[in-house]
Amino acid sequence: MRRLEGAGVTAEVETGGGHAPPFYVAQGNECELFQHCHEKSLPLLIKGPTGCGKTRFVEHMATRLRRPLITVSCHDDLSAADLVGRHLIGRAETVWADGPLTRAVREGAILYLDEVVEARKDTTVVLHPLADDRRILPIERTGELLVAPPEFMLVMSYNPGYQNLLKGLKPSTRQRFVALTLDYPNAAVEQTILAQEGGASTALAKQLVQLAQALRRLTEHDLEETVSTRLLVMAARLVVSGLGLRAACRAAIVDALTDDVDTASALDEVVAAVVGDDD
């Protein structure tokens, strides 16, 4: 992986070829759907909670398809100019610098906009001509009109749990995309992930998944997010390194989910009931 900086945004670029795909266990037919979208030059919108594997899935598919992947982590200062590019002042002249979107179109790469609803509202408008049958990118400041090659693919993701009146996709944007919904894996798949990614034994993986299921059933606590597979992997790695299971769950799960003392205490009671007390 290499990091490209310029035009106001940092993008991570995976070469996509010559390496084994990052570990990913399919939940359904998402791999098949992604491949069909790529073959037919269709944009893809991935919806799912934090830490359910959206980014890993895109990395996995880019490597399988042997396409370079440019990933942009969206934030509330990200603008359309950051994606397309801008003129930069050099020592003797003004030089145009492509943004990650323009680079992806030129290279026929897969562009992944992670948590796209975090970006400024004007950002998605520049995607419209690329996300419909035109598949073009007008660059007003240079007068160019780029036509996306068949290999170019636009992928966006967001977490519906964070949606509100101020942060949501417009219907005019949403309806240009094929949509895919991912969730946390079922118990068997999640245990496999913990064994592979966290080095967990069968017993440890089973305990952590049981804990996750218990925490995910909680509805009386005002949590923005519940425990993700990512947090379970971190807890597993701590235990494998020698930290006690209860302490690992407290550090990697409970304290990662909330800053509220009462809520943390309630979650810790669930941890104690499921994994016991090793303090």
Q: What is the pLDDT of residues 139-164, one digit of tens each?
A: 998 999 999 999 999 999 998 876 54
- Residue 46 to residue 57: CA distance in whole angstroms: 10
The chain-wide mean pLDDT, for the chain, equals 89
- Count the helix, strand and coil residues of the chain and give each as a percent rounded to the nearest 5: 45, 20, 40
DSSP 206-252: HHHHHHHHHHHT--SS--SS---HHHHHHHHHHHHTT--HHHHHIII
| Rg of the chain in Å (alpha carbons) | 21
pLDDT score of 223:
75
Is residue 10 over pLDDT 80?
A: no
Question: Stretch 76-83: mean pLDDT, rounded?
Answer: 90
pLDDT score of 169:
80
pLDDT band at 16 (very low <50, low <70, confident <90, very high): low
Question: Do β-strands 44-47 and 153-158 pair in parallel, antiparallel, or remain unpaired?
Answer: parallel
pLDDT score of 70:
97
- Residue 264 to residue 262: CA distance in whole angstroms: 5
pLDDT score of 125:
87
Question: Stretch 47-54: mean pLDDT, rounded?
Answer: 91
pLDDT tens per residue across span 226-270: 899 999 999 999 999 999 999 999 999 999 999 999 999 999 999
> What's CA 13's distance to the chain center, in Å?
14
Kindly report each contact of residues 62-65 with a partner whose C-beta sits within 8 Å and lies 24 or more positions away, as own/partner.
62/14, 62/16, 62/110, 62/112, 63/14, 63/16, 63/17, 63/19, 63/20, 63/21, 63/22, 64/21, 64/31, 64/35, 65/16, 65/35, 65/38, 65/110
Higher pLDDT, 92 or 66: 66
Is residue 83 over pLDDT 70?
A: yes
Is residue 29 over pLDDT 80?
A: yes
pLDDT band at 165 (very low <50, low <70, confident <90, very high): very low
Is residue 84 over pLDDT 60?
A: yes
Listed in sequence order, the residues at least 6 apart from 211 whose beta carbon sits closer than 8 Å to its beta carbon are: 227, 232, 249, 253, 270, 271, 274, 275
- Note the pTM of the prediction, 2 decimals: 0.86
